[in-house]
A and B are shown apart, each in its own frame.
Chain A
Amino acid sequence: MHTPTTEARPSIYYNYEVFKPWLASAHPEQARQKVAIAGSGPAGMVAALELARHGVPCVVLTSELQFSQGSRAICFTRRSMEILQQVGVADRMTEGGLPWRFGNSFYRGQRVFRMEAPHDPDDRFFPIINVQQQYLEEYLHDACKANPLIDFRWGNKVNAVLQKDGYAEVEVDTPEGPYTLETNWLIAADGGRSGIRTAMNLPMEGASYEGVFVIADIRIDLPFPTERRAYFDPEWNPGNTILMHREPHGIWRVDYQLPPGETPEDALRPESLKARIDAQLAMIGHAGLPWEMDWSSVYSARTLTLPDFVHGSVIFTGDAAHLLPIFGVRGANTAFQDAQSLGWHLAYVIKGLAGPALLQNHSTERVGAAREIIEEAGKSTRFMAPPSRGFRILRDAVLSLSLTQDFVRPLYHWRTSRPHEYSHSALNCPGDDNALFKAGPAHGAPPQNVRLGVSDGVSADEKDFLLDHLGGGFDLLYFTDSALPAALQQVIEQARTRGLPLKVTAVGAPYVVAGAQQHLPDADGHLRQRYGVPANGAAYLLRPDQHICARWLTLDAKRLQAALSHALPKL
C-alpha cells in the first residue's frame, strides 16, 4: 500500500494544494493504454500536453499528492518559453516571472565579468525568466486538467514494470493498494533518481563531480536587480563558489559550494545554513538584514546520460534520461526540449504516420543533445567546481589574472542552455536547397522568431510574432503573394488525407491566397530577410517541434513530397 503524505508541504510563499488520489475502485475496468507517463514534473507534463496536442491520449501516474517540494528549477530559457507557449502556459509564466539577461561574476570585491545575453527585438521572450518550479507545475497541471485526453492520477506510484511483447505491464500502487496497468508505451519521466531506470539496471555514460553544493531559498529584501550574481573564492568560503538569483515573491536563491569532506547532513543543519548565509550577506554588504528560510537541499554536479532513451516499450525523458549540472540552467530546460521532441515522434508512430525508425530518431537526436550539453557543461563545471589539483590551480590563476587581464574574463562565462541544432538529423531533407541559403535557420535548427507587422503600424504592446502562428503539426512557410501552384496544393491535400497535420502559411501575401491556411503580409520584408529568402517560390518546412527539416529557394510538388517522405520514415 502506497501512502503519500496528505499534509501540505511547508512553504513561506506557496500554498500547496493536496490533491485526491486516483483510486482504481472508483473507475471502470481499464483497457490497455496507448501511453502512460510515470512522473509529473516538467518533463512528464510537457510530454503529456504535447501528446494530447497531437491527438494521443495518455495517463499520468504521479506518486505524491502535491507539486514538488521547494522551487528546484528557477531559470527558464527563451526556448523553454517558446515550448511552453506551444502547450499554452507561457502567458502565465510571463505574468508571474522575473525576466533577465545579465550575469555578474565577482572576485575579491571586484566585478570581473559581466555576461550580457542578447535580446533581439524579434524575440518574444527574454533570454531567461525566473519562476519557481511549483508555479510552473501548477500552470502545467491546470493545462493537463483542462485537456480531456489527459488522465491525471495523483497518488499513483509505479512499483514495477514488466516488459511484454509490444507493451508493458505496470504495477501501480495507490492508497487502496496496487492495480495493474497495461500500456503500449511507458514514458519514464520519474526524475534524476528514476526508480524505473534503477530497476532496469541501465548504465549511464559520463562523469560525476565531487563538489557538493547547498541550495537554499530565503525570503529577504535585497536591493539588487534580477541578474545572476556569482562570487568566486570569497574569504568566508575559500576556494569555493556562491551563486545568487532573485526569484519572484521576495525570494532569493543562495547556492554555495561546501568545503571538501563536509557531509550533506552537516551542511543542512540550521546553524550551519544560518552561519553561511549570514557570512554571504555580510560579504555583499548586507550583514544583519533579516531573512527567513523557505527550503534547502544539496546537490552535486553530474554529467551523465543514458546512451539510448528507448528500451522496448519504455522511453526515458528529462532527468530520468540524463543528469546535467545546474551551471547553465540545463535541467528543466533540457527536459522541455526532450518532452517536446518525444511528444510528436511518439504520437506520429502511434498514429501510423511513421514507423519505429522515427522513435529511434528521437533517441538519436536527444542523446546527441545530451552529449553536447555534457561537453559544454563539463567546461563550466570544471571552472565552478574544479575536479582535480590541476584544474583548481588553473582556475585560481584565472581568478587572479582576471583582476587586471581582460583576455581571461570570458572564461567566467558558463554557456547557458540553448536549443540543440539537429544538423545531422536523419529527417533533414537531402535534396533541398539548404546549402544555398545565405541566412535563416538551417537544417535541424530551431526556428528564428520574428516580430510581425511592425511596418503595419502595430503598437508596441500589441505584439505579434511568427511563432505565435506556428505549431501543432508540420508547418510549411511558403513565400508567395499569390495562390499555391495546383500541383503543390495536390501534394499537400494528399498528405492531409493520410492524416498528416500540415499547415501552410503564405508569407508576403497581404490577402488570403488559395492553398494557404493563413497569410502574413510581411510588408517590410523583414521575415523574408531573416529567413534569407530572396524571391517568391521559396519555402521552409518545420517539424512539429518547429525545427527545420527542409528549405528551398524554389519549391515544387515533387520536392515537398520528397521532404515529407524523408521526414516520416515508414520503417
Chain B
Amino acid sequence: MTKTPLTLEGLETAYDALATAIDRAGPDRSELFLVKLALLQAQALGDAREFQKQVDAALQDL
C-alpha cells in the first residue's frame, strides 16, 4: 500500500477515468462496474480494516 496521496493532477486523471468508465458501462451496468472496481481496490489495498474506513467515509453524507 502506498502512503503517498495522489497529486492534484493524478486525482484529476482518476476523476476523468472514473467518469468516462461509468458512462461506458451505462446506467444498467455502472453499479456492477463500481463494485468490481471496489473489490479490485480492496485487494490492492490489502488491508480489510483500512478498507472498512473507506467504506465508512463513502457512506457519509449520501
Give A contacts to B, CB under 8 Å: 393-394, 396-398, 400-401, 405, 407-408
Q: Which residues on the A side are within 8 Å of B39 (C-beta)?
A: 394, 397-398, 401, 408
Within 8 A of A (CB), among B29-56: 31-32, 35-36, 38-40, 43
Q: For B32, B36, B40, which residue has the most chain A Cβ atoms within 10 angstroms?
A: B36
Is A401 in contact with B32, judged by CB distance below 8 angstroms?
A: no
Is B43 in contact with A400, judged by CB distance below 8 angstroms?
A: no
Chain A binding surface SS class: helix
A394's nearest neighbour on chain B, judged by CB, is B35
Count of chain B residues near A, Cβ 8 A: 8
CB distance from B40 to the nearest CB of A (A): 7
Is A396 in contact with B40, judged by CB distance below 8 angstroms?
A: no
Is A400 in contact with B40, judged by CB distance below 8 angstroms?
A: no
Within the assembled complex, what's the spacing in Å between the Cα atoms of A397 and B41? 13
CB distance from B9 to the nearest CB of A (A): 28
Within the assembled complex, what's the spacing in Å between the Cα atoms of A397 and B34? 9
Within the assembled complex, what's the spacing in Å between the Cα atoms of A255 and B25? 33
CB distance from A392 to the nearest CB of B (A): 10
Is A405 in contact with B31, judged by CB distance below 8 angstroms?
A: no
CB distance from A393 to the nearest CB of B (A): 5
Is B36 in contact with A397, judged by CB distance below 8 angstroms?
A: yes
Residue from A396, A405, A407, A408 within 8 A of B32 (CB atoms): A396
CB distance from A567 to the nearest CB of B (A): 40
Q: Which residues on the A side are within 8 Å of B31 (C-beta)?
A: 393
CB distance from A242 to the nearest CB of B (A): 21
Q: Which residues on the B side are within 8 Å of A396 (C-beta)?
A: 32, 35
Within the assembled complex, what's the spacing in Å between the Cα atoms of A413 and B40? 19
CB distance from A336 to the nearest CB of B (A): 35
Q: Which residues on the B side are within 8 Å of A397 (C-beta)?
A: 32, 35-36, 38-39
Within the assembled complex, what's the spacing in Å between the Cα atoms of A412 and B40? 17
Given A394-B39, A398-B39, 17 other A-B residues pairs in contact with their CB atoms under 8 A: A393-B31, A393-B32, A393-B35, A394-B35, A396-B32, A396-B35, A397-B32, A397-B35, A397-B36, A397-B38, A397-B39, A400-B32, A400-B36, A401-B39, A405-B40, A407-B43, A408-B39
Q: Which residues on the A side are within 8 Å of B43 (C-beta)?
A: 407
A389's nearest neighbour on chain B, judged by CB, is B31
Within the assembled complex, what's the spacing in Å between the Cα atoms of A405 and B40? 9
Within the assembled complex, what's the spacing in Å between the Cα atoms of A398 and B40? 10
Within the assembled complex, what's the spacing in Å between the Cα atoms of A396 and B35? 9
Q: Which residues on the A side are within 8 Å of B35 (C-beta)?
A: 393-394, 396-397
Q: For A393, A397, A398, A401, which residue has the most chain B Cβ atoms within 10 angstroms?
A: A397
Q: Which residues on the B side are within 8 Å of A407 (C-beta)?
A: 43
5 contacts between A and B (CB under 8 A): A393-B32, A397-B35, A401-B39, A405-B40, A407-B43
CB distance from A513 to the nearest CB of B (A): 54
Q: Which residues on the A side are within 8 Å of B36 (C-beta)?
A: 397, 400-401
A408's nearest neighbour on chain B, judged by CB, is B39
CB distance from B25 to the nearest CB of A (A): 11
Q: Which residues on the B side are within 8 Å of A394 (C-beta)?
A: 35, 39
Within the assembled complex, what's the spacing in Å between the Cα atoms of A401 and B40? 9
Q: For B31, B35, B40, which residue has the most chain A Cβ atoms within 10 angstroms?
A: B35
Within the assembled complex, what's the spacing in Å between the Cα atoms of A193 and B40? 44
B44's nearest neighbour on chain A, judged by CB, is A407
CB distance from B29 to the nearest CB of A (A): 10
